[in-house]
Amino acid sequence: MSVPVVPSQIVLRDYQLDAEEKLRDGMRQAMRRLILVAPTAFGKTEVAAHIIQQAVEKGSTVWFIVDRVSLIDQTSERFHRYGIDHGIIQADHAGTAPEKQVQVASAQTIARRHFSSLPDLIIVDEAHCQYKAVLDLIARAENAKVIGLTATPFTAGMAENWDFVVNGATVNTLLAMGFLTPLRIKACVTPDMKGAKKSFTGEYEDEEAGQRGITIIGDVVQTWVAQTTAHFGGPVKTIVFSPSVRHGEELCRQFAEAGFNFQQISYLDKSDEDRKAKIDEFRKPDSAIDGLVSCAVLTKGFDVPDVMCGISCRPYRKSFSSHIQELGRVMRIAPGKQFGLWLDHSGNSIAFADDTAWLYEYGVASLSEAQKKDAEVREPSEQIKAERFCGDCGMQMEPGASTCASCGWERPKRGEIQTVEGELIDLEISTKKAFQPRKGLRAACLENPMAVWNAALAYCFSNTRRGPDAARKWAYGIWAGIYPGSRLPYGLYDARYDPTAVKSDEWGLVEREVARFRKQPKRRAAA
C-alpha cells in the first residue's frame, strides 16, 4: 500500500513576503504587468507558488509559463511538492488535464497553439527572454494580471512590455543572510580579442571567440589544477562556459590528457537523453564527471548547489545579463561550501566590474535603466587591475595602500613601468572597493555612491535654470569630483531621482562640493 505524499507547506521568508506585498500593491495601483527582479537563491518560484495557491483559493485560473520545454517536468515536480494541483499544456504529455485551474506550459507550446479560453493570472518565468508568442498572449489576455520573474531584466523592450518593477532582496543582502555563497574571482590569462569579428548582436562571433580561446586552453587547464589544489586541496565539481563547440571539445580533450573527466553539453546536442544523462550524473555528490563544459546552455535555470568552481571562457562585449547568469551558477549554497571559485579567462569580470558591484548592492531601480546594461560595449580595463589588486600574488589590496599586506609587493610609483606575466588577480565585487571617494573626503554617506548620485541630481535640478540636460551634466560633474576615476554604471545617468530620499549629510556633501568648485580659480579665457 502506497503512502500518500504530504505536500510541503510554503513558508516565505520576510524578504519574500515583502516582495509579494509589493506585487500586490502594484496590482492595487491598477498595474497589470509586473516584474519581480531578484537574484539566484531568492526563491522567486516559491513566491510565485504562494501567489498561485492564494489565487486558486479565490477560484482564479493560472498559467505558469517556462521558457523551455525541458523545464516543464522540473516545474511540475515542484508544484506537486507544494500540493498545487495542475495540468500540463504539451502534446502527448501524461499530465495533460485542461480542466484544472493551474496549467504549466512552455513558451514554445504557447507559440504553436491558439487558445479560446484565457487565464486570470499569468506568471512568466525567465521573463527577460521576451518570446513574441508570450507577449502576444499577454496582450490578448487583457483582463489577466501578469507577473514576470527574472534575475536579469536587461533585455531591450522590457520597459515597454512591463508596467511595474519590484526589486527583491539584492545579492549582497542574500550573501549577508547566508542564502548565497560568496565568490572568489581570479582574473586569469585571456585571449587577445583585438580585431575579432562581431555578429549582428555586437557580440563576438562564436567560432571567432572559440578559435582565439583555443590558444590559451593550456593555461585554462593548468590554472584550474593549480587553483583548485590551492583553495580546495584538489579537483572540485566545475562548470565551464565555452564560446564554441570546437573550443569545448578541445578543452575536454586537454582536461582528459591531464587526467580529468570533463563532458561537453551544447545547443548542438543531438540527443536530449544523452545530455540529461550527463547532467544527472553531474548532479550526484560522487559524480564521475569532474566538470561540465557548456556552450550556450546552463546560463540560466540550471542549479547544482555543490558546484565549487566556474570557468569563464566566453568573452562578452555587451551581454551583462549573460555574465550575471553565469556567476549565479556557482553561488548556490551547499553543505560545507564556504565560497565559490571563479576563474575568469574571458575578461568579463573586469569589463563588467562596476556594473556588477552596483547591481549586487542596489539591485534594479527601473526597467528603462536596466535595459541599457546590455546595450553598451565594455572592454576589460587594465586600469581596474592595476588600481585594485596586487601585481604579484593577486590579493586584493586595501584602498590607498601602496604595499600588499600578503606578500609585501610595492605598488609602482606613478610613471614607473611594470611588467607582469600572466598574473592572477583577486577581484572583489563591492561598491566600497569599486567607487573610492576623493582622498581627504570624510562623510558616512560616501559609502553609498547611489545615494550621493541621487542627492546630486536633486540639488542640480532644484538649482539650475538651464533645463534637465544641464542639470544632469552638472550633477555628473559633482559626482565625478567626489568619486574621481569612477564612472556611473550604464543606465544611471538618465535615472529618475527621488528628492524625498535625500538626507541632510548627502545634501551637505553636494553643497560643499559646489562651493569647493566655485572657489577654484576661473579658467582664463582663450586668447
Residue 74 pLDDT level (bands cut at 50, 70, 90): confident
| Alpha helices in 64-164, H assignment, sequence order | 72-81, 107-112, 132-140, 158-161
- 301: β partners: none
CATH class assigned to 185-353: alpha beta
Percent of the chain at pLDDT > 90 equals 57
Tell me the pTM: 0.79
Judge whether residue 399 has pLDDT over 90.
no
Least confident of 167-171, 238-242, 421-425: 421-425
Q: Which of 104-113, 361-370, 401-410 has the highest mean pLDDT?
A: 104-113
Mean pLDDT, residues 482-496: 83
**389 or 275, which is more confident:** 275
Domain borders along the chain are: 14-169, 185-353, 435-518
Average pLDDT, the chain: 86
Query: 202-240: per-residue pLDDT in tens?
Result: 888 888 888 888 888 889 999 999 999 999 999 999 999
Torsion over CA: 481, 486, 491, 495 (sign) = negative
pLDDT, position 134? 95
DSSP per-residue string spanning 418-460? ----S--EEE---HHHHSPPPTT---GGGG-HHHHHHHHHHHH
Judge whether residue 417 has pLDDT over 50.
no
pLDDT, position 117? 92
Mean pLDDT, residues 400-421: 54
Homologous superfamily (CATH) of 14-169 is P-loop containing nucleotide triphosphate hydrolases (3.40.50.300)
Query: 24-68: per-residue pLDDT in tens?
Result: 999 999 999 999 999 988 999 999 999 999 999 999 999 999 988
pLDDT, position 120? 97
The three cell numbers of residue 478 are 559633482
Rounded CA gap, 424 and 413, in Å? 21
> Which residue's C-alpha cell is 521573463?
127
Judge whether residue 2 has pLDDT over 60.
no
Judge whether residue 164 has pLDDT over 80.
yes
pLDDT, position 222? 93
pLDDT, position 406? 54
Judge whether residue 274 has pLDDT over 90.
no
